[in-house]
Structure 1
């Protein structure tokens, strides 16, 4: 009887904690329309960020009941915060490409209020797509779906060259002739196309 009472008390406490955590998550979701909660965030006096971190840990360990997982997913639970952040930056990458026609962004470039240029620079570094081969391959495909030449270094040339090449194509498509694109002609402000013309001229001579 004592053992059963102790077990009941433990289970009851755990259920109550779940109920408090879920209620705090629900309130946050209704206010913010999502569950992208910083770890240190407290919803009132309740440590919601830490509680959600505990739920992710239980989910990854396979110890979370499916009913609870479903309830949290209905509130927009983000199980993998790294993938969630990547998805947000990927949306910014699409926005940048739609405007620039390339992902060869300078480091200072931004899109959707995100430092997309620095983000892409980081991804091009060794293990920039994470060490997990499956995740890295998936992310590379997502970037290539936006711009097949998103990583010029792997193709044998630089990001600057790729950006100049894209700028040159845009100027030609707009009706400019090669003889008109001389040093000093620029595309998208600091994305100059003229250095590419210099390279082509030198190669031809």
Structure 2
């Protein structure tokens, strides 16, 4: 019986005959196509020595391969779509993963950049590479620059979303370059000019400033478990005491504005939060509030009882979009 006659459903058909037709015309060819795709993947890995299936979209296997002329690039793209939609069964996912399948090009690109950045920082003691810096062939300087730009933009947009339109906003920032660029982007979204305040700088470590971390670690004398901590001498020449650092940050935190944005450093965050909750300055030596670079800490005062809340500490959800590209 011709196929067009079998698939004319206006009249009853033999279920067994219809099932046999679907198996021959749909299921078995699909399985064959899958096997050819896996063959092409394995050959690609063998011939290129690649550990990941980062195959160009328009790539077709050479005539000398088996299978020849197979559209490997588009085949892999279709598998990614099926996987994202949850339509690729676990066995096939496992097969592709074993061959180095790239489910997300953005994730792979981020991991490569992060690996190069870590290697650079390990050797140089910091992550401030010049834009032209290259590590093992990877443009680590450009990658770091792009990540910082994206993180600042994400940070600014996240803060803009937390403040009602038309509300009065003040923007204060440390005057150091590391926070100044972020402050300028945030301030622009709110239509204000950032107020630069040296009192919001992180603690100064005197002669150890600008040197690799191990230089500070070798001579640093930690504060005692009990006794005087804020005025403790850390045995680093010209280093600022915790008391002096806390005093200036506490002073900088006095502002009557309803919505205040403060751009500062991770090392200053403890004193910013301690000041906000009215912690006595002598007790701040026992406090430690940590957050990673680019994170947002939200502090709020209740309207009725005027209790002060730490709503979120070091939130980084807004940075997810940076990795996603």
For the aligned pair, the TM-score class normalised by the smaller chain equals 0.5 to 0.7
Residue 108 of structure 1 is matched in structure 2 by 132
Residue 69 of structure 1 is matched in structure 2 by 93
Identify the match of residue 41 of structure 1 among 36, 59, 63.
59
Gaps of 5+ in 2: 1-13, 63-68, 159-176, 184-206, 216-236, 238-325
Q: Is residue 2:195 matched to residue 1:153?
A: no
State the secondary structure of the residue aligned to 1:104.
coil
Gap change, CA 1:80 and 1:154, over 3 Å in 2? farther
Give CA-to-partner distance per residue, 1:2-56, whole Å, 9 cap, x none: 5324421111121111111110001112222421212222222111111111111
Identify the match of residue 169 of structure 1 among 187, 205, 211.
211
Q: Which has the higher strand share?
A: 2
> TM-score normalised to the size of structure 2?
0.40
Q: Is residue 2:72 matched to residue 1:56?
A: no
Q: Is the 8 A contact 1:24 1:48 kept in 2?
A: yes
Residue 91 of structure 1 is matched in structure 2 by 115
Residue 23 of structure 1 is matched in structure 2 by 39
Cα distance, 1:153 vs structure 2: 3.3
Q: Is the 8 A contact 2:61 2:71 kept in 1?
A: yes
State the secondary structure of the residue aligned to 1:39.
coil
Larger Rg: 2
Residue 11 of structure 1 is matched in structure 2 by 27
Gap change, CA 1:128 and 1:156, over 3 Å in 2? closer
Gap change, CA 1:156 and 1:70, over 3 Å in 2? closer
How many pairs does the alignment contain?
A: 148
Gap change, CA 1:153 and 1:39, over 3 Å in 2? farther
Q: Which has the higher helix share?
A: 1
| CA distance in 2: counterparts of 1:113 and 1:166, whole angstroms | 32
State the secondary structure of the residue aligned to 2:128.
coil
Cα distance, 1:82 vs structure 2: 0.7
State the secondary structure of the residue aligned to 2:88.
coil
**RMSD of aligned alpha carbons:** 3.3
Gap change, CA 1:166 and 1:128, over 3 Å in 2? farther
State the secondary structure of the residue aligned to 1:125.
helix
Give CA-to-partner distance per residue, 1:120-163, whole Å, 9 cap, x none: 111111457989x9xxxxxxxxxxxxxxxxx9338979xxxxxx
Residue 219 of structure 2 is matched in structure 1 by none
> TM-score normalised to the size of structure 1?
0.62
Gap change, CA 1:117 and 1:129, over 3 Å in 2? farther
Gap change, CA 1:17 and 1:115, over 3 Å in 2? same
